[in-house]
Amino acid sequence: MKGILLFGHGARNPDWAAPFHRIRAAIKDADPSCPVEPGFLELMRPTFDEGIDCLVEQGATEIVIVPIFMAAGSHLKKDLPLMAAGAMDRHADVRIGIAPPVGEAEPVLSAMANYAMAVSPELVGEV
């Protein structure tokens, strides 16, 4: 069974995690049996390791790590492969793969472009 780890940077403000929970809910709506959890690099929980372990506990035998990042900077190029290798050491019977970041996906960029063209901003000073 395939599981999905939504890999994020993390931030001090708990509200920062809201989009991750919304993406998770959208996936659960489409496929209620799909194990899907967030996992953060720093400042937030669940951590990357906690997210992976939670997916394995739910029966995932294959895990796709999906970076919820705009692009592949040093966190994705250096930190993530090491973390993923550690996860494979802990779960030798689970196939683990890393997807390109969401910011490289054409439909995601297209949705961002459409949003930018349509959005109504708050005027500065009137927020």
Q: Look up tokens 């439909």; give the residue.
A: 107
The residue count for the chain: 127
Closest by CA position to 37, among listed 61, 64, 12, 13: 64
* Number of residues engaging a second copy in binding (CB under 8 A): 64
Tokens of 35: 């194990």
- 12 binds a second copy per the rule CB under 8 A: yes
- 104 binds a second copy per the rule CB under 8 A: yes
Nearer to a second copy, 31 or 57 (CB): 31
Q: How many CB atoms sit inside 10 A of residue 61's CB?
A: 13
Positions marked catalytic: 9
- 27 binds a second copy per the rule CB under 8 A: yes
The C-alpha atoms of residue 8 and residue 124 are separated, in whole angstroms, by 29
- 94 binds a second copy per the rule CB under 8 A: no
Interface residues for a second copy in 52-81 (CB under 8 A)?
A: 64-66, 68, 70-74, 77, 81
Question: Shortest gap between Cβ of 75 and a second copy (angstroms)?
Answer: 9
Closest by CA position to 39, among listed 1, 79, 78, 92: 79
The C-alpha atoms of residue 91 and residue 21 are separated, in whole angstroms, by 25
Residues at the site binding a second copy, with contacts judged by CB under 8 A: 4, 6, 8-9, 11-13, 15-20, 22-23, 26-27, 30-31, 34, 36, 64-66, 68, 70-74, 77, 81, 84-85, 88, 95-100, 102-105, 107-117, 119-125, 127
